Amino acid sequence: MFRGSYVCCPRDGASLVPATGDPLVGTTFATRYIIEELLGEGAMGRVYRARHARMSRKFAIKVLFGDCSIDAKMCARFAREAEASSRLSHVNVIGVVDFGETAEGLLFLVMDLADGPDLATILAGEGPLSATRVLDLMLQVSEGLAHAHGRGLVHRDLKPANVIVERDEQGGELARIGDFGIAVVAEDHQATRLTTAGLVLGTPHYMAPEQATADAIDERTDLFALGIVLYEMLAGVLPFDGTGIEIARKNLSCDPPPIAERVPGLQVDPELEALAFHLMQKAPSARPQPAREVVDRLVLSEGLPIVR
């Protein structure tokens, strides 16, 4: 799967022809996964629903575009980050169960299949959310983030579209963070500068100032994005209007407006709003740290004992 003006495969020189429909749907992928349908597409590849050829278990498979997989830096970064993602095992994180390269040279990542809408879809249809619901979802996302940070992983693209909300066995909401596809190993900031020219890592609407200016990033970068997600759940809108680039600039230089100014007449929980503003501090050192501190504050807001 190549994008752009490729007429020949850069690997073996074979001629390429435009695909009618998705070339992977209905095929057996990597000898053991049957691709059932396309779920979505991002900057680096496509995500499919698949089932194992010899088991009933279903998965989500992310397949990188061919033009990404022929880039040596991209391959090195993908392999390193896929291995790092495989360290994660938490109810609020979508787990990685397999990764590799097909005989045709396609790089892929196999994840647990999370069956539910993403938080962005929920916010578009139901936002702003009630304080009780915000507290519940925020606590779960913070728990998942704390787990990832504890394993040395920085997500760096946390946003509502990357949080899937399933139903648990009791009918409640189960939030799970997904798409660690551009995650970085926290202790390896310089090595993770391995990027392809023109590839934007992260979503401008949720970028921390240090991320937008290509400064060093760490776990606190995710906490800034978490603050914007919290603000959006409370207000039903982002702190700023504009294009992605305009919003990234405002995140860099402007203080977010109080929710009462952003959405006149809307009353929100003051403690949750205060937490959102604490997380959205421009300086990383001024934000809560680590993510476990956010969990503790949310637990106290809910009136529950902190259990270690």
Dihedral (CA of 93, 158, 100, 152) sign: negative
Among 236, 217, 119, residue whose Cα is nearest residue 173: 119
In this structure, what token pair is assigned to residue 238?
């982002």
In this structure, what token pair is assigned to residue 275?
């937490």
Between CA 94 and CA 41 the distance in angstroms is 18
Distances (CA, A) of 35 to 61, 65, 105, 109, 148: 8, 16, 17, 13, 28
DSSP per residue, 202-269: S-GGG--HHHHTT----HHHHHHHHHHHHHHHHHSS-SS-S-HHHHHHHHHHSPPPPHHHHSTT----
Q: Is 188 helix (H, G, I), strand (E, B) or coil?
A: coil
Distances (CA, A) of 140 to 12, 134, 306: 47, 10, 14
Which phi and psi (to 5°) does residue 51 adopt?
Answer: -125, 150
Which are the catalytic amino acids? 157
Between CA 55 and CA 63 the distance in angstroms is 21
